[in-house]
Amino acid sequence: MYKNIEKQVCLKLKDLVDYQEGQVVSKTLVQNEHVSMTIFSFDKGEEISTHAAGGDAMVTVLDGTGKFTVGGEVFILKEGETLIMPKGIPHAVYGEEQFKMQLTVSF
């Protein structure tokens, strides 16, 4: 089920992706018909434009600060904070500063 990640090792999820200038970097850990789990890093000013997911999407900020716009409402999340973006509701993600997040989508 899990890929791109060591097993039976204590890890820090935020260390699984590095920041890269001018980019959004992602590493998929799980992808199947029930769940998708991905770790992202955003450079300051980088974004994923407005889209809707086919399942409920839960994000947890692992480092830094990110801006999440969900159904027109803006949320600023810092390290350790979590937000659920409901299935089918348009949302976007923006790097207020460099930040990393874990995204889990349940289908």
With DSSP H G I counted as helix, E B as strand and the rest as coil, what are the percentages for the chain, rounded to 5?
Answer: 5, 60, 40
Q: Check: CB of residue 26 under 8 Å from CB of residue 38.
A: yes
| pLDDT of amino acid 64 | 98
Distance CA 50, CA 91 (A): 5
| pLDDT of amino acid 48 | 98
Per-residue pLDDT of the chain (107 residues; tens, 9 = 90+): 899 999 999 999 999 999 999 999 999 999 999 999 999 999 999 999 999 999 999 999 999 999 999 999 999 999 999 999 999 999 999 999 999 999 999 99
End-to-end CA distance of the chain: 16
Q: Check: CB of residue 92 under 8 Å from CB of residue 39.
A: no
pTM over 0.85: yes
Structural domains of the chain sorted by starting position, each given as residue range(s) with its CATH number in brackets: 24-106 (2.60.120.10)
| pLDDT of amino acid 1 | 87
